Amino acid sequence: MSRILVLACIFCFGNVGGWVLELFYRRFFSNVNGKKQWINPGFLNGPWLPIYGFGLCMLYLMAGIPLPMIEAEWLRRLILFACMAIGMTLIELVAGIFSLDVLHVKLWDYSDQRFHYRGIICPKFSFYWSLLGAAYYFGVHPFILDALQWISENLAFTFFFGMFYGVLAVDVCYSVRLVSKLRAYAIDHALAIRYEELKASIQAFEQRQRHKVYFFFAFHSSSPLSENIRRYWEERTSDERFRNLRRFKKKHKDEENEA
């Protein structure tokens, strides 16, 4: 197959595989609005995350770099995994800056991590990217090569990739239209909206009202979008005031104990 077709296939694998990874990460390891829950991750509505598509393409290309100037095999792999971590962090940085400075929404938040930059990259998750690169190199890359070989022998299967890109294009157009409304509201009110917190807030409100909750179309609500944003921002401001008050009381108590 041509290099373009190969990368197009890998981009599809990365989109869906990354979405599954992030879905389970949010359910069992990460907190959204203070609790672990099932929530559709990312910017789009369907089961795909383009940032992982680009990431998998990069990992695939980097896995084939031989590094012949380094004799020790362990050192070659160590340098390769470090380069993979840097590459994934750069992808995350570009996507994060674009979402913050252009769209005025925050798709993820590392503000509670040490040495973070604007809450979009941090050393802890760069280390996780290196582990993910190692997992890809040893566990996923051989299967990717086998899958690409099978697809090259069964080109009729590429019809499904065409369907994938068609649905993805529709989803992108729908999501861009939605985010343009969020952006206008964010600019008017001088705030940065945390995308998944807003999703979770809408879903929680719909559940309280006993309305139907949409997993893949989380912004589909019985209330107007502006009202949902206003309610979310009031909840977030109230939560931040409560956390600040708790920190102040704890600090005051510690000072009294020391005295």
Is it the case that residue 62 has pLDDT exceeding 70?
yes
Instruction: At 27, list the tokens.
Output: 């359910």
Q: What is the pLDDT of residue 248?
A: 43
* Greatest pairwise CA separation for the chain in angstroms: 77
| pLDDT value of position 242 | 44
The pLDDT of residue 142 is above 70: yes
**Residue spans per domain, the chain:** 3-258
Q: What is the pLDDT of residues 14-46, one digit of tens each?
A: 999 999 999 998 888 877 766 778 888 888 989
In 3D space, the residue among 68, 64, 49, 47 whose CA is nearest the CA of residue 6 turns out to be: 64
Distance CA 55, CA 33 (A): 27
Q: Taking all residues of the chain, what is their mean pLDDT, rounded to a whole number?
A: 85
Q: How far is it, in rounded angstroms, from Cα 92 to Cα 72?
A: 30
| Per-residue pLDDT reduced to its tens digit, 173-194 | 999 888 888 888 888 877 778 8
Q: Confidence class of residue 259 from pLDDT cuts 50, 70 and 90? A: low
pLDDT at 154 over 90: no
Dihedral of CA atoms 17, 22, 28, 31 in degrees, nearest 10, equals 180
Which residues are 135's β-sheet partners? none
Statement: residue 81 has pLDDT above 80: yes
State the pLDDT confidence band at 130, using cuts at 50, 70 and 90: very high
